[in-house]
Structure 1
Amino acid sequence: MQATTIDHSRRRWLGAIPALSGALLLAPGFARAQGSAYPHRPIELVVPWQAGGGADVVGRAFGAAIAKYLPQPVVVINKPGASGVLGLGDVVNAKPDGYRIVLSSTELTFLNHLGLAKFSYKDLRPIARLNADPAAVVVRADAPYATLEQFLEAARKGDANIRVGNAGHGSTWHMAAAALAEKTGAKFNHIPYAGGAPAVLALLGGHIDAVTVSTAEVSSYVAAGKLKALAVMADRRVADGFEKIPTLKERNIDLSIGIWRGLSAPRGTPDDVIAVLKGAVAKAVKEPAWLEALAKLHFSTDTYADDAALEAVMARESEFFKALAGKINLSS
């Protein structure tokens, strides 16, 4: 009798195993326990700009730095076009699982205000800001302008045709030049290029009269005496060769514009996935190789910000650029 009871109990237990197994497979964390914790395959980092540019170099340098703190590699995918709209939009519409993230930048806060994108910064979830640098107003060393005031005075003349290069229609540097014109009454002929670097090369070749790009993109040429910086669009003076260059605010022009680059994921990406990425990023930004890469490019090395701080920056900039977009005509 006892043996029969035990045998019957065993059969009931064995019969419950399939149901129990199914419940475990559905239980939170079971997949991670089985060795598929995030990330269990390579992470794609979309760079919305062309290969070889500043954003691309930053993306690849950071991909190498963060590899030490993730079990899977970060693979850079360039998706340039439309001042970042193509690459940013690609990740806005990606599956929110953490396997496709984007190297976001200042453009994310105003492309929608210009009517160039249907998405806004709210459609991506910030992970961290990696670096930030101000814009500079730069001319050739042999230009007839010794000061910013002389440059702006020339640009106020109706027939001056001052050609100012930028990183593409609707880019941060386009907005910077347009904002400077709006603030000062200057008139610029905006010339778009496929990035800040090509615009700088055009200036060196004498094809345009000035550029508004990051200090990092012109630092080596300024140091070599080939280009001349007239002002920086920052709240305070900039180091790395720009210590003697005045800010716009020192010239009574209340304008401060720069560019930041960070990491963002599709809105809806789970908190635990974001936590993994945030933790890895916080460690990677301290890597000597990463800091050396930034320094070599003359980028700032002390402007890291976490997700909450970056979201606050984006909210503030979105309001600023929304107001600016209503005042300026980017086609002129």
Structure 2
Amino acid sequence: MKRRTLLTAATAIAALGLVGTGTAMAQSSYPERPIQMIVPWGAGGGTDAVGRIFASLLQEELGKPVNVVNRTGGSGVVGHSAIATAPADGYTIGTMTIEIDMMHWQGLTELTYKDYDILALVNADPAGVMVSSDSPYNTLQELLEAIKTEPKGTFKASGTGQGGIWHLALAGWLISEGLPPDQVTWVPSQGAAPGLTDMVAGGVDIVPSSLAEGRSLIEAGRVRPLASMSTERQALFPDVPTLKEVTGVDWTMAAWRTIVAPAGLPDDVKTKLAAAVEKAFNSDEYQNFMKERGFGIRWAGPADATAAIGEDDANLGKVMKEAGLAAN
């Protein structure tokens, strides 16, 4: 009887060992089926382009299809919600954009960056300060002095909708210079392109969108870049100084894109996905793709990306409150 009990115990232990081995094998075999890449913005845009190049590269690395799905609507809320509320099993990932740091302050959603496992920050396009080539202001210092001395509302700016990222970039800069956020009147537009067109035509004085978006007009000699809202000069625009170089302020802002998954990924899945994203980022295909399109290339792994996004969240919340653009 005693021998039988010992054998039963040994069999049970062996069975547990097999279960454990099976579990480990199941975990290490991720992915076993196609992965969905959710893009919260429309097909053909910049975020869609970044999402699709990553989907292609991750498909090669992981050995399973990575299918892009555009989930648009609600100023980004629909797509970001679809990512956050998906099962945290590694089979839904997405491209999260800087709007996640703005939507909850606007009262559009309760989602924040904390609802995601951030795998990497893979792109950042710093805001700039651009004027038309026939503007009387040749330097940022000249423009700033005029903004300070002329009555409020004398200068007009455009490049996105009311409360959009470039509007907040400008408002944040003005606040950092000790000016009210509405010292320059914001003229809403459908994006940087119409804002730049309006500026060249004389309708507005300033466009604070990314210099990359103004690149063609800059190279054509129709737009003059005065500064970049980045920590260091941009490789594509080495002659354009940063705000800090010119005026000493520390304000920086960039529109960024990240690769994320719903919060709560299993550790082994998160590790594998993060490694695959890093390999895709470092590939010649991705680097060349981004450079050819003038997109800013920036890398931050999971911890650093989460910290940077959290800092932007706090900064944007402060600016939106001071500008009367926050709902809470």
User: Aligning the two structures, in what range does the TM-score lie when normalised by the shorter sequence?
Assistant: 0.7 to 0.9
Contact 1:111-1:170 within 8 A present in 2 as well: no
Contact 1:123-1:267 within 8 A present in 2 as well: yes
1: CA distance, partners of 2:254 / 2:50: 16
Q: Which amino acid aligns with 1:323?
A: K
Count the aligned residue pairs: 307
- Larger Rg belongs to: 1
**Which blocks of at least 5 consecutive residues in structure 2 are unaligned?**
1-10
Deviation of residue 103 (structure 1)?
A: 0.8
TM-score after normalising by structure 2: 0.81
Moved segments of 4+, more than 6 Å: none
- The alignment status of 1:75 with 2:67, answered yes or no, reads yes
| Equivalent of 1:62 in 49, 54, 57 | 54
| Equivalent of 2:229 in 233, 239, 249 | 233
Q: Which amino acid aligns with 2:300?
A: A
Q: Which amino acid aligns with 1:76?
A: V
| Equivalent of 2:216 in 220, 230, 234 | 220
1: CA distance, partners of 2:162 / 2:62: 37
Deviation per CA, 1:291-311: give whole Å up to 9, x if none: 11011122234x212111111
- The alignment status of 1:146 with 2:141, answered yes or no, reads no
| Equivalent of 1:272 in 268, 275, 284 | 268
The farther-off stretch of 73-82 and 267-276 is 73-82
Deviation per CA, 1:88-114: give whole Å up to 9, x if none: 122112221222222112232343233
Contact 2:147-2:184 within 8 A present in 1 as well: no
The farther-off stretch of 277-286 and 41-50 is 41-50
**Which blocks of at least 5 consecutive residues in structure 1 are unaligned?**
1-15
| Equivalent of 2:300 in 295, 301, 305 | 305
Q: Which residue of 1 aligns with 2:152?
A: 158
Contact 1:134-1:232 within 8 A present in 2 as well: yes
Map 1:155-194 to 2 at 5 A.
Answer: 156-160=150-154, 162-166=156-160, 168-184=161-177, 185=179, 187-194=183-190
Deviation of residue 194 (structure 1)?
A: 4.5
Q: Which amino acid aligns with 2:41?
A: W
- The alignment status of 1:248 with 2:248, answered yes or no, reads no
Deviation of residue 208 (structure 1)?
A: 4.1
Change (3 A) 1:83 1:228: farther
2: CA distance, partners of 1:261 / 1:273: 21
Change (3 A) 1:201 1:290: farther
2: CA distance, partners of 1:95 / 1:86: 16
Q: Which amino acid aligns with 2:287?
A: L
What's the secondary structure of 2:251's corresponding residue? coil
Q: Which residue of 2 aligns with 1:284?
A: 280
Deviation per CA, 1:186-215: give whole Å up to 9, x if none: 623334444444544554565544322222
The farther-off stretch of 247-256 and 119-128 is 247-256
The farther-off stretch of 74-83 and 253-262 is 74-83
Change (3 A) 1:163 1:324: closer
Deviation of residue 277 (structure 1)?
A: 0.9
2: CA distance, partners of 1:266 / 1:177: 32
2: CA distance, partners of 1:221 / 1:317: 29
Q: Which residue of 2 aligns with 1:133?
A: 125
Q: Which residue of 2 aligns with 1:84?
A: 76
What's the secondary structure of 1:216's corresponding residue? coil
- The alignment status of 1:321 with 2:313, answered yes or no, reads no
1: CA distance, partners of 2:222 / 2:27: 56
